[in-house]
A and B are shown apart, each in its own frame.
Chain A
Amino acid sequence: MGEAESVYRKEFPVRGGDFAKAGAAACEIKELLKDLGIDAASVRRAAIVAYESEMNVIMYAREARMDLTVSPGKVRLVVDDRGPGIPDIELALTEGYSTATAEMRELGFGAGMGLPNIKRNADVFAIDSEVGRGTRLDITIRTNGHHTS
C-alpha cells in the first residue's frame, strides 16, 4: 500500500496520423511532472522523450499507448505502438537517419533526430520492435539529478 502511495501512473492514448493533436500528450506529461515537483532538467528531458516518441507514433504508427509511471527517483515512459515496426533498429538509432517522406519533411518533421534524441535524453533506454506488428520503447529518466549522456 505504501508502495502504491508513492507511485503515480497514467495512460495516454495516441492515434497515428492525428497531426491536429500532435504534442498534446507530451504537453500533458510535462505539466504533470512539473506539478509532481520533478526538477526542471529532468522535466526537460522527459518532455523531449515524450514529444519525440509521440511524434513517431503520429507519423508512422496506427495507434499507441504511452504509459507514464512516476516513482521516487525516476520517471518511466513506455510507448507501445501498433504499427509497421522498425526493420533495422541499429540504423534507426543512427544520428541523422530518417525515413520521413518529403511531405513530412515539408511540415518540419523527420530531421532524423527522433530515436537518437530519445536515447540521448534517457538514462535507461530499451527498444523492441517487430516488423508488421509494432514497436515498444521503454525509457527511464532518473530524477535525482544524475545523468550521463
Chain B
Amino acid sequence: MSDTPPRNFHAIHITKDKCIGCVHCLSACPTKAIRVEGGKARIIDQLCIDCAECLRVCPHDAIHSHMTSFAALEAFDYKVAIPSTVLYGQFGPTVVPNEILSALRRVGFDEVYDLSSICELNCAATEEYLNEHPSPRPYITSTCPVVVRLIQRRYPTLCGQILPIEPPREIAAKILRTILPKSLGIPAERIGIIHITPCPAKMVSINSPATLAKSYLDGAISIRDIFPQILQALRKSEEDALMRHLFPETLFSGIGMGWPLSGGETRGLKKHRAVAVSGIRDTMRVLDEVEGGLLQDIDVLECTVCPDGCVGGPLGVENRFLAKSRVLELVAAAGEHAVVDQKDVSRLYHKNFLSFDHPVAPAEARPLDGDRVKAIRKAKLRERVFAELPLKDCGVCGAPDCRTLADDIARGYARLEACPFVEAGPRRAAVPANGRAKGGPKAGPKKKAKKEKP
C-alpha cells in the first residue's frame, strides 16, 4: 500500500474499451455520479460513493472494481486473512467454516482468523456506547463504508450521528497488528493483514479511511477472485475436512455469524431498539427521514446498501438467497451463547481501543455556486431549463435524467442542445402527452424551434 493514498480513492472504474455508452449505469447510480460523454461513461469523482450499483447492471462487463490481487501479497513475509463471514455462506451445506479457514491456509495464508467473535465484540461495544450516550438518536452504524460515504456527501448533517465504534474488520486487524509482531518476532510492516470480502468499497475504506488516520488492513481480496482457489484447496483435502469436522479449532459466535445479514449487526443488542435497512434506495429514503428529524425513538439504525446486507455484496459468488439460507443455518448451529466476555470488551472500549481516531467529516458541499446570489440565479435558471425538458429521462443527453441535465446546465457543465427532444422542437408540440404547462414566465435559454423538418 502506498503511504499517501489519494484523497478520493475509488474502487469502481470504467474500462473505456468495453464501454459502449449505453444508459444502464446512468440510471442505476443513486448519486447521479455518471455521465456519458463522447460515447463513454465517466464517473464523477466527487459524487461516487463506490456502491457498485453500476457494476451490477453493466451488460458489457465494462465496470470493474480495483481489489487487492493475490500476487500483491508477496510483498509480505507473513500473510494473515480475515475473511468476512459472508464467505461461509458461499459453499454448500457440507462445507463448514473451519474447513474454509483451513482451505485459505492452503491457498497461501500463514494464518486465518474468523471474524464472528469480533462481530459479537463490536455489538457488545455498541451496546456500551449507547448506554453511555443517550443522545442523539438514532445513531447509525459505520460497518458499511458506502453508508459512511453517502452520509458525508448527501446527508452531511448526520455525520455526528455515526456511531463511533470501528467495524469488526478494522478492530480485528488492529488487535492482530498489536499482538502478532510480538508473538511472531516479525516487524509489523512485514505482516500483511488482508480482508476477504464481497464488497468493493472495503478497498475505499482501506485506502481513504473516513475515521482512522490509517487503516489497520493492508488490502481486500474479493471473494469472487479467491473463490476458485479455495474450491480447489477444498477438493484436494477431503480427509483433512473430516478431521476439521471432528476437531474444530475455532469457536464461532452465533451472534457474530449472522452479521452479514441485514439486521445481523444489531441482533445481539439487548437493551436498545434497532432498525435495520438494506438496499441503497431504501437506505437513502430512511436517511432522508432521519435528516428530517424522524426515527428519534430508535436507538440505532443499521444501514447496509447491498440488498439483504453484506451477503448481497456484488463480489460474492453464490446467489444471495442461497448464501443467506446457508448463513442462517450456521447461525443456528453456532447457537446463541456468547463467545466474548462483556468485561473484556468493556476494558478495550474504555481504553478507546475500539473507537474512531476522528469523527466522520462532511464532504465538501457542492452548492450551485459559492456566491449566494449567483447560486439563487442558477437555481432559477435550473427551474426554467427543467421546464423545457421532456421528462423522459432517456439518458441520450449523457445525464441520467432531465433533472440532472438541468442541474448540469445550471452549473455550466452541459448545454440544452444535448437534449434530443429540445432539438426536435416542432415535433414536441405535436406530442402533448407529458402535460407540462405551456406558456408562463419562461425566460430560459429556449432554443428557437426550427420550422423546417430536417
Enumerate A58-109 residues with CB–CB distance to B below 8 Å.
70, 72, 108
Count of chain A residues with a beta carbon within 8 Å of a chain B beta carbon: 30
Interface size class of B (residues with CB under 8 A): 20 to 34
Name the residue of chain B whose CB is nearest to the CB of A118: B293
* Cβ-defined contact, B370 with A37, below 8 A: yes
* Cβ-defined contact, B373 with A35, below 8 A: no
* Cβ-defined contact, B293 with A43, below 8 A: no
A27 adjacent to chain B (CB < 8 Å): yes
A41 adjacent to chain B (CB < 8 Å): yes
Enumerate A100-123 residues with CB–CB distance to B below 8 Å.
108, 111, 113, 117, 121
Enumerate B209-244 residues with CB–CB distance to A below 8 Å.
none
> Which of A1-9, A13-21, A127-135 lies at the binding interface?
A1-9
B59 adjacent to chain A (CB < 8 Å): no
* Cβ-defined contact, B157 with A41, below 8 A: yes
Main secondary structure of the interface of A (DSSP, over half): helix
What's the minimum C-beta distance from A5 to chain B, rounded to whole angstroms? 6
CB neighbours (8 Å) of B288 from chain A are 23, 27, 30
- Distance, CA A50 to CA B372, complexed state (A): 21
CB neighbours (8 Å) of A30 from chain B are 288, 291-292
* Cβ-defined contact, B292 with A7, below 8 A: no
CB neighbours (8 Å) of A50 from chain B are 292
Known: A5-B373, A7-B376. A36 touches B296 (CB 8 A): no
Name the residue of chain A whose CB is nearest to the CB of B159: A40
* Cβ-defined contact, B376 with A34, below 8 A: no
What's the minimum C-beta distance from A52 to chain B, rounded to whole angstroms? 7
Enumerate B330-351 residues with CB–CB distance to A below 8 Å.
none
What's the minimum C-beta distance from B277 to chain A, rounded to whole angstroms? 14
CB neighbours (8 Å) of A52 from chain B are 292-293
Known: A6-B373, A40-B362, A48-B292. A34 touches B367 (CB 8 A): yes
* Cβ-defined contact, B157 with A43, below 8 A: yes
* Cβ-defined contact, B379 with A35, below 8 A: yes
CB neighbours (8 Å) of A113 from chain B are 293, 296
CB neighbours (8 Å) of A72 from chain B are 372
What's the minimum C-beta distance from B224 to chain A, rounded to whole angstroms? 36
Residues of A that sit less than 8 Å from B by CB:
5-8, 10, 23, 26-27, 30, 32, 34-37, 40-41, 43-44, 47-48, 50-52, 70, 72, 108, 111, 113, 117, 121
| Cβ-closest 8 pairs across A and B | A51-B292, A37-B367, A48-B293, A44-B157, A8-B376, A6-B373, A36-B375, A35-B368
Q: Can you give 21 contacting A-B residue pairs, CB < 8 Å? A: A5-B377, A6-B373, A26-B292, A35-B366, A37-B369, A37-B372, A37-B375, A40-B365, A44-B157, A47-B157, A47-B291, A48-B292, A48-B293, A50-B292, A51-B292, A51-B293, A52-B293, A111-B296, A113-B293, A113-B296, A117-B293
